[in-house]
Amino acid sequence: MHRLLTAALLITATAPAFAADEASAARASAAETEKVREIVRGYYLKSNIGSTVYLLTYGGGLLSGVMTVNLAVGSDFIDNEKSSLSWEVIFGQNLQNGAKWDVQTQVLPPNQLIQGDLHLFTAAAVVEASTYPTRRFGVGVRAGGGVSIAPLLMDVNEYNTTVVPAWGGVVSPIMSSPLPVIIVGPTIEYYTKLSHFSLGLDVDAQYVIGLNDLGISPTGYMKYTF
C-alpha cells in the first residue's frame, strides 16, 4: 500500500510539469515556424517606375516612352506557403514624347491623330497569381483592365482653330473620350530580409482600345506589406 501511495504522489506531482513542457514546446515550435518563414503577406502599398514602349500604331518614332509611374494598393486574399492570389488597384501615369501633329497627318488616319506628346492617366484593377520556387522568390502572372484618359496638353483655342482645321475638321477621339485598357503580363518578386518590404518587376502588356496600340511597360517596384 505504501508503494502505491508513493507512485500516485509521484504521478500527481509530475503531470503538471509534463503538461507545461508540452505547452512550452508547442509555443516554441509555432515561434520557430513563424521565424523561418519571415514573409509578410496581406494588405500592401506598391510603387512602380519604368517606361512604356508602343509597338503597333505609334511605333517607329511616333511615340517614345519617357516615364511610367504607378501607385497601387492591394491584398493577398489567398496565402499559402507555395502559392498566393492577390488583387490590386492601380493608379498610373504614362508620359510619351510624340511626333508633331502636322507630321502625324502624313502617316496616320484621322481617327488616330493625337496632339503630339501624350500623357495617359490610367485607373485599373488586376488579379495576380504567384508561385514560390524558394521562400523569398516568387513568379506569377497578372491580368485585368481599366480605363485611360489622355487630356489635351496644348492650348484649347490653338487646338480648335489651328490643329482641327488642319486635320480636316476631325476632333481626335483619343483626346476626347475614355480609352478602355486590357492588361496582362508576368511579375517577379523578391522578399527582402526587412520582413515588410519586397522588390520586384512587373512587365505589363497593355492594349489601349481607341489608341489601338499595344504598349509594353516594364516597371520595377517596391512594396510594403502591412
Query: Which pLDDT value is given to residue 148?
Result: 97
- Which single residue is written with the C-alpha cell 485611360? 148
Query: Which pLDDT value is given to residue 23?
Result: 61
What is the C-alpha to C-alpha distance for residues 164 and 173, in angstroms, rounded to an integer? 12
pLDDT tens digits for 182-219? Answer: 999 999 999 999 989 999 999 999 999 999 999 999 99
DSSP 124-142: EEEEEEEEEEETTEEEEEE
Give 186's strand partners. Answer: 141
pLDDT at 31 over 90: no
Under the banding of pLDDT at 50, 70 and 90, the label for residue 34 is very low
3-state secondary structure of 37: helix
Kindly report whether the global pTM for this prediction surpasses the value 0.75: yes
Cell of 114: 493625337
Cell of 132: 514560390
126, 180 contact by CB (below 8 A): no
200, 187 contact by CB (below 8 A): yes
pLDDT at 17 over 80: no
- Which single residue is written with the C-alpha cell 484621322? 110
Query: pLDDT above 90 covers what percent of the chain?
Result: 62
Report which residue type is found at 140. G
Residues 6+ apart with CB under 8 A from 140: 128, 129, 130, 131, 186, 187, 188, 189
Query: Which pLDDT value is given to residue 171?
Result: 86
